[in-house]
Amino acid sequence: MAKLSMIWGLVLVVGATAWVANAQSSGLPQLDQNEWWGSQVLLKDSATLQSRKTIKPFHVTFSQEMIDYLKRRISNHRSYVPPLEGTAFEYGFNPDQIGTWADYWVNEYNFTTGESVLNQFPQYKTNVQGLDMHFIWVKPEVPDGVTSVPLLLLHGFPGSIREFFEAIPLLTTPTNGLVFEVIVPSLPGYGFSDGAVRPGMGPAQIAVILKNLMKKIGHQKFYIQGGDWGSVIGRAIATLYQDDVLGFHSTALTVFNSCAEILNLLGGYIATLQVEIHQYNRTALTNIAEETGYVHLQATKPDSVGISLSDSPIGLLTYVLEKFSTWTHPSNRLRQDGGLFNHFTREQMIDNLMIYWMTNSMTTAMRLYAEYFSRAHRGLGLDEHPTKVPVWNIKAPNDLFPQPLNKMKFLNVVGVTVLNDGGHFLALELPEAFAADVFKAVEAFKKFHANRRTDL
């Protein structure tokens, strides 16, 4: 125990020193605003590049070949090792549940409908810094007396643009004189957007790409909404481009810097002291250890895991849906069916999987974890820099773990909404509450700026 205390004491001192040193280092990191993430071949082929740089309408196509192959791969599965007696989702996705999902995906999921769901909003592709970036772009009708403002909506893992499909129609319908022009990119490496071909594209670099995308489609200044990676990338944009982001609405206004880490580590240490193993109850802190193994895995060996999930539709399904189950409500682990149907439809879940499967993007999606936790990215110290961008925090009680709002990072907290229901995938689970809160927040952001005579 004494030895442990010494180690933790050391962690504290080293961490605190690093934090103070970082906090004192002046100026934001200087990132190359045109860093090239695509292939060198494309860079040298100016005709192709010029053509890719134009903004072209994009349409999702489920080819019959892709559908047939997928169905074969789902159907030709081995038999699964049965779950342990009396268990539900505590050990991960319950193998007894695979059958109905496989059957649904092959025999009931309407691929024609699925394809049209993915095509229901205007969407485009354009090359930014070497990557073909995909984005939904809905410009609403703007009647007299209504103000339209641009809103960048950022999804996370293991979600996709599909997270926002129920909320988009609400956000693009005028409400109290306000309406949103929504831009919903597939994050680089996710779904229909290219992943980088070389190491180093973390959230800070993605922030540059997305800012460039927004500029390219004519928006110098804009609002951002994001959860999960969307919140990490959103706060990177709101830190690097403080004059361009008019407001940031997020489910997670947390930070990842040395100070926050020390608190997390101490929290973990004290919790293990306080909770005897036989009293083990799924508290928030044990939750973190139990539910974040995937982070460590994806931050260290994303390709090894990515290969398996990209090669097996059932592997992909179980890995992804286990997260939709537990992150939506922790008690779903105790439900035989993972409680998924209490919150989502099978169509919604499979639409999201179709995006990962058809684009073979699970590996590039997972690499984001490795790039975020890399020495180089951490070295940027982005989270040590405060931002003056006004923020609004919406907290869902059943989210994966509590996300403390960090007021040292976010200097202008304009509002906080505490919901009495909802989990991690809030826009998908509770689109009405989600959209209403975004309207409320942006009204408050506009007032904030009006009071300070800044902008809009």
Active site residues: 228, 369, 424
Per CB under 6 A, 300 contacts ligand NAG = no
Q: Which is nearer to ligand NAG, 244 or 399 (CB)?
A: 399
Q: Which of 24, 79, 112, 420 binds ligand NAG (CB under 6 A)?
A: 112
What ranges in 329-425 are assigned the alpha helix state H? 346-359, 362-372, 375-379
What's the min distance (Å) between Cβ of 299 and ligand NAG?
29
Q: Which residues contact 117 (CB under 8 A, 6 or more apart)?
A: 165, 347, 351
Per CB under 6 A, 120 contacts ligand NAG = no
Q: Which is nearer to ligand NAG, 146 or 275 (CB)?
A: 275
Q: Which residues contact 265 (CB under 8 A, 6 or more apart)?
A: 8, 11, 15
Burial of 387 (0-12, 13-18, 19+ CB in 10 A): buried
CA nearest 236: which of 211, 272, 200?
A: 211
Per CB under 6 A, 110 contacts ligand NAG = yes
Could you tell me which stretch among 105-113, 268-276, 309-317, 395-403 binds ligand NAG (CB under 6 A)? 105-113
Judge whether 400 and 336 are in contact, CB under 8 Å. Answer: no
CA nearest 160: which of 69, 60, 291?
A: 60
Rounded to whole angstroms, the Cα distance separating 115 from 66 reads: 12
Rounded to whole angstroms, the Cα distance separating 132 from 134 reads: 7
CA nearest 348: which of 331, 384, 324, 326?
A: 324
What's the min distance (Å) between Cβ of 114 and ligand NAG?
9
What's the min distance (Å) between Cβ of 285 and ligand NAG?
12
Rounded to whole angstroms, the Cα distance separating 194 from 187 reads: 9
Q: Which is nearer to ligand NAG, 89 or 157 (CB)?
A: 89
What's the min distance (Å) between Cβ of 118 and ligand NAG?
13
Could you tell me which stretch among 10-18, 109-117, 128-136, 301-309 binds ligand NAG (CB under 6 A)? 109-117
Judge whether 411 and 387 are in contact, CB under 8 Å. Answer: yes
What's the min distance (Å) between Cβ of 330 and ligand NAG?
8
What's the min distance (Å) between Cβ of 89 and ligand NAG?
13
Q: Which is nearer to ligand NAG, 176 or 279 (CB)?
A: 279
Strand order in the sheet with 222-226: 56-57, 123-128, 131-138, 178-185, 147-154, 222-226, 245-250, 391-395, 413-418
Per CB under 6 A, 113 contacts ligand NAG = yes
- Residue 418, classed as helix, strand or coil, is strand
Per CB under 6 A, 64 contacts ligand NAG = no
Q: Which is nearer to ligand NAG, 7 or 284 (CB)?
A: 284
Q: Which of 281, 375, 418, 453 binds ligand NAG (CB under 6 A)?
A: 281
Q: Which is nearer to ligand NAG, 4 or 284 (CB)?
A: 284
**Residues touching ligand NAG, count (CB under 6 A):** 4
Residues that bind ligand NAG (CB under 6 A): 110, 112-113, 281
